């Protein structure tokens, strides 16, 4: 099933839909649709009457809930569904692979972000904030919150929840060890101020025209409360003050908190607080999302149930969501998820679905009563090898990983075309990490090939040139320090791609051709993440999904994110803290890239695009991330959707900042009778 046979579409641009430039039946199959979604009516008046789900109406009659009119905010969000007004009821069945699979649920909870994007992933739309504005000089961004908005427990959500986060959580180094780089303009920290009960403003010393986009991106300021306060990541701009204040030493004596922590099985108040603020584990934590957790992630069934105070309605005044529950069933690995999807056991699943199984998935559509959708991505690499630049457990390996010519040689030793045929069905684009050539931030096609073609002769010259010129009887290169065989390790998390272990094994075989011995170590995602955060991997296999918009998700281009990078958390802590923590990189090229990133915050879009191109050029030339194959539907772009599910788009954005599946607004999905 080659690209020439399927006629994969040419992507007409980041904001556009898939163009019908095909030479085969792929486009005609209907697998790739048009980017589409429901409409958020920003100027719609508050409906005169409201309706609610039967399960909530029963609670109102029983006196356990106030009437729907009292639960909805004054500034309700009105949504025109994609195709039709929905019906209430049903359970959305889905799969997850364990306690480390947080993002599976985080994405479904993305209605708690300050701002969001439209279906194209380019235009800002309201979310928690009903409106926003940037001052003429770019130094002040104001958010207008929805008046009358309530948390899922019925308590008011106001500007005080934002100020509580900024004053009591963000500045507490026990909870937030490093500041968010997005809360600084050109490295100078900004501040949050309360204008009134429903208005907050962010003030900076220098222009920050990029800030609204960061509020909508998957960043430390735009990820939303659930995304960034799970797993101890106390970022996210706001938090439920009334609920969380009693668990802070500022409001409760630390001795009392210590007793409470130990009684609950925690070592100290910090561990207790992290549990209390973790939506995946603590069902009592209030949320602003469409659903709230009623059964935690550390069980066989991770269950979400409708939030009776959710702030959105359809054009007929029906409170959303239409679907009552989201039920994620535990699968031991991605392979099991694929088997269950093919058997028709899920209603909507894009996570873990393997592009390599596309023929089988298509073959079983009619029998299992689902439809298949393909959503091509714009990111350059569905799979990337990330050398850890501050790896120290083995001095010789660490020095090699920090050597640019070693990284270039590893890249030149990979036969990407074989990977593409074996794991992407020939549908991907081999090359470096840069985004699609049509995007305004892309440095151009020549940079897709830079250090990213199969050239073993040049790879061998580079390796010989850095002193790895001695080999054993089997042709493997010897270490420079002790003469033993050099062995490097690729760390693979059991996570998003079912074929990552096999991809890594194929790369190991490729590297034999340049005398490099390597091993593949597969581990559970939580362990993989823990080791990544402490720079313990030698080379980590991951993705660069999200980097098609560099400034919204730069962690896989440069080490700038202190809680989620894979290149160097030492450097990321230094960057995020403006030098207060971590260590600066000795590499002048990385320092130059850092300077460019800081400068971009105060630039208008056209200039920011040019800056992004320069950052990409440096990143590719330095091979901080060794790209394999990308620009495909492989990374959460294969959707298996029940025939009964309505208002699902023909194509949806799979960029990190689009937060698939939330980018398709599942609150307006419903089941046909």
Q: Report DSSP letters for 603-621, one per residue.
A: S-HHHHHHHHHHHHHHHHH
Confidence grade of residue 562 (pLDDT, cut at 50, 70, 90)? confident
Please determine, for residue 17, whether its predicted confidence score (pLDDT) is greater than 70: no
Q: Which helix (H) or strand (E) holds 595?
A: helix 588-600
Mark 132-168 as b/e (b = at least 16 C-beta within 10 Å): bebeeebbbbbbbbbebbbbbbeeebbbebbbbbbeb
Please determine, for residue 493, whether its predicted confidence score (pLDDT) is greater than 70: yes
What are the tens digits of pLDDT across the range 252-285? 999 999 999 999 999 999 999 999 999 999 999 9
Burial of 418 per CB tally in 10 Å (0-12, 13-18, 19+): middle
How confident is the model at residue 524, as a pLDDT? 87
- Collapsing DSSP to helix, strand or coil, 383 comes out as coil
Look up the domain containing 537 and give its range: 384-566+623-630
Does 44 share its domain with 16?
Answer: no
Does 303 share its domain with 422?
Answer: no
Residue 107 forms part of a structural domain: yes
Does 134 share its domain with 18?
Answer: no
Tokens read off for 188: 């100078």
Distances (CA, A) of 381 to 377, 452, 567, 609: 9, 12, 16, 20
What are the tens digits of pLDDT across the range 105-161? 999 999 999 999 999 998 999 999 999 999 999 999 999 999 999 999 999 999 999
What are the tens digits of pLDDT across the range 224-242? 888 766 556 788 899 999 9
Asked if residues 251 and 587 have their Cβ atoms less than 8 Å apart, the reply is no
Confidence grade of residue 465 (pLDDT, cut at 50, 70, 90)? very high
Residue 581 forms part of a structural domain: no
CATH value at residue 538: 3.10.105.10
Residue 366 forms part of a structural domain: no
Share of the chain above pLDDT 90, in %: 85
Whole-angstrom distance, CA of residue 480 vs CA of residue 427 = 41
Tokens read off for 616: 């990409």
Does 54 share its domain with 187?
Answer: yes
Confidence grade of residue 247 (pLDDT, cut at 50, 70, 90)? very high
Confidence grade of residue 673 (pLDDT, cut at 50, 70, 90)? confident
Closest CA to 433 of 443, 423, 425: 443
What are the tens digits of pLDDT across the range 176-207? 888 888 999 988 999 999 999 999 999 999 99
How confident is the model at residue 1, as a pLDDT? 36
Asked if residues 198 and 146 have their Cβ atoms less than 8 Å apart, the reply is yes
Average pLDDT score over residue span 646-668: 96
Average pLDDT score over residue span 514-527: 94
- Collapsing DSSP to helix, strand or coil, 107 comes out as helix
Whole-angstrom distance, CA of residue 49 vs CA of residue 259 = 49
Please determine, for residue 27, whether its predicted confidence score (pLDDT) is greater than 90: no
What are the tens digits of pLDDT across the range 64-99? 999 999 999 999 999 999 999 999 999 999 999 999
Average pLDDT score over residue span 499-521: 97
Tokens read off for 288: 């602003």
Does 317 share its domain with 397?
Answer: no
Closest CA to 151 of 225, 216, 221: 225
Whole-angstrom distance, CA of residue 177 vs CA of residue 156 = 29
Average pLDDT of the chain?
A: 92
How confident is the model at residue 9, as a pLDDT? 34
How confident is the model at residue 227, as a pLDDT? 78
Closest CA to 23 of 12, 9, 11: 9
How confident is the model at residue 187, as a pLDDT? 86
Number of domains in the chain: 3
How confident is the model at residue 5, as a pLDDT? 35
Average pLDDT score over residue span 46-60: 96
How confident is the model at residue 8, as a pLDDT? 37
CATH value at residue 80: 3.90.76.10
Residue 126 forms part of a structural domain: yes
How confident is the model at residue 230, as a pLDDT? 58
Residue 355 forms part of a structural domain: no
- Collapsing DSSP to helix, strand or coil, 576 comes out as helix
Confidence grade of residue 416 (pLDDT, cut at 50, 70, 90)? very high
What is the DSSP annotation of 649-661? -SB---SGGGTTT
Whole-angstrom distance, CA of residue 654 vs CA of residue 661 = 8
Does 24 share its domain with 46?
Answer: no
How confident is the model at residue 624, as a pLDDT? 98
How confident is the model at residue 2, as a pLDDT? 35
φ and ψ of 8, to 5 deg: -60, 145
Does 433 share its domain with 544?
Answer: yes
Least confident piece of the model among 83-97, 213-227, 318-332: 213-227
What is the DSSP annotation of 398-461? HHHHT-HHHHHHHHHT--HHHHHHHHSTT-SEES-S---TTSTT---THHHHTT-S--HHHHHH
How confident is the model at residue 21, as a pLDDT? 27
Does 23 share its domain with 43?
Answer: no
How confident is the model at residue 20, as a pLDDT? 30
Does 389 share its domain with 446?
Answer: yes
How confident is the model at residue 29, as a pLDDT? 53
Does 287 share its domain with 405?
Answer: no
φ and ψ of 306, to 5 deg: -55, 140
Does 18 share its domain with 49?
Answer: no
Does 558 share its domain with 450?
Answer: yes
Confidence grade of residue 578 (pLDDT, cut at 50, 70, 90)? confident
Closest CA to 35 of 91, 113, 119, 137: 119
């Amino acid at each position: 099933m080659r690209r020439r046979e399927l006629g994969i579409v040419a992507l007409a641009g980041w904001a556009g839909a898939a163009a019908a430039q095909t030479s085969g039946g792929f486009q005609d199959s209907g697998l790739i649709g048009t980017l589409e979604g429901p409409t958020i009516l920003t100027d719609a008046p508050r409906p005169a009457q409201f309706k609610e789900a039967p399960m909530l109406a029963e609670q109102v009659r029983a006196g356990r809930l106030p009437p729907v009119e009292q639960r909805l905010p004054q500034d309700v969000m009105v949504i025109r569904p994609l195709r039709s007004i929905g019906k209430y009821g049903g359970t959305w069945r889905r799969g997850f692979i364990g306690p480390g699979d947080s993002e599976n649920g985080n994405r479904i909870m993305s209605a708690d972000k300050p701002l969001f994007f439209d279906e194209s992933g380019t235009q800002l739309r309201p979310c928690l904030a009903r409106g926003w504005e940037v001052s003429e000089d770019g130094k002040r961004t104001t958010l207008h919150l929805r008046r009358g908005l309530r948390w899922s427990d019925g308590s008011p959500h106001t500007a005080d929840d934002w100020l509580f986060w900024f004053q009591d959580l963000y500045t507490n180094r026990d909870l937030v060890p490093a500041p968010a780089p997005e809360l600084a303009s050109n490295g100078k920290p900004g501040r949050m101020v309360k204008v009134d009960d429903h208005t907050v403003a962010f003030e900076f010393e220098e222009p920050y025209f990029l800030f609204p986009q960061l509020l909508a991106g998957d960043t430390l300021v735009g990820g939303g409360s659930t995304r960034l306060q799970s797993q101890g990541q106390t970022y996210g701009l706001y938090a439920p003050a009334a609920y969380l204040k009693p668990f802070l030493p500022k409001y409760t004596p630390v001795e009392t908190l210590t007793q409470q922590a130990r009684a609950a099985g925690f070592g100290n108040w910090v561990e207790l607080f992290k549990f209390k603020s973790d939506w995946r584990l603590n069902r009592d934590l209030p949320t602003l999302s469409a659903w709230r957790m009623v059964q935690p992630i550390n069980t066989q069934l991770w269950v979400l149930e409708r939030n009776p105070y959710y702030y959105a309605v359809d054009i007929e005044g029906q409170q959303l969501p239409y679907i009552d529950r989201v039920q994620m069933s535990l699968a031991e690995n991605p392979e099991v998820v694929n088997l269950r999807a093919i058997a028709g056991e899920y209603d909507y699943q894009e996570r873990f679905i393997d592009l390599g199984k596309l023929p089988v998935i298509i073959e079983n559509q009619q029998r299992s009563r689902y439809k298949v959708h393909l959503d091509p991505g714009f990111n350059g690499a569905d799979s990337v090898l990330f050398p850890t630049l501050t790896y120290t457990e083995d001095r010789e390996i660490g020095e090699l990983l920090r050597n640019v010519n070693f990284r270039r040689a590893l890249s030149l030793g990979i036969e990407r075309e074989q990977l593409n045929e074996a794991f992407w069905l020939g549908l991907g684009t081999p090359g470096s990490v840069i985004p699609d050539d049509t995007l305004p931030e892309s440095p151009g096609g020549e940079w897709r090939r830079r250090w990213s073609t199969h050239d073993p002769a040049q790879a061998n010259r580079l390796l010989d040139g850095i002193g790895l010129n001695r080999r054993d009887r089997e042709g493997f290169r010897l270490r420079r320090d002790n003469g033993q065989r050099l062995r490097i390790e690729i760390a693979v998390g059991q996570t998003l791609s079912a074929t990552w272990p096999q991809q890594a094994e194929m790369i190991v075989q490729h590297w034999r051709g340049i005398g490099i011995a390597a091993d593949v170590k597969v581990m559970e995602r939580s362990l993989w993440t823990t080791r990544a955060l402490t720079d313990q991997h030698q080379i980590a296999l991951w993705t660069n999904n999200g980097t098609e918009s560099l400034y919204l998700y730069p962690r896989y281009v440069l080490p700038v994110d202190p809680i989620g990078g894979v290149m160097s958390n030492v450097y990321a802590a230094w960057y995020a803290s403006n030098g207060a923590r971590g260590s600066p990189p000795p590499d002048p090229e990385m320092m130059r890239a850092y300077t460019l990133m800081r400068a971009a915050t105060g630039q208008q879009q056209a200039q920011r695009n040019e800056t992004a191109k320069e950052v990409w050029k440096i990143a590719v030339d330095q091979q901080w991330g060794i790209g394999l194959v990308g620009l495909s539907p492989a990374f959460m772009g294969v959707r298996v959707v029940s025939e009964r599910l309505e208002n699902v788009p023909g194509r949806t954005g799979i960029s990190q900042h689009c937060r698939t599946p939330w980018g398709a607004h599942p609150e307006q999905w419903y089941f046909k009778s």
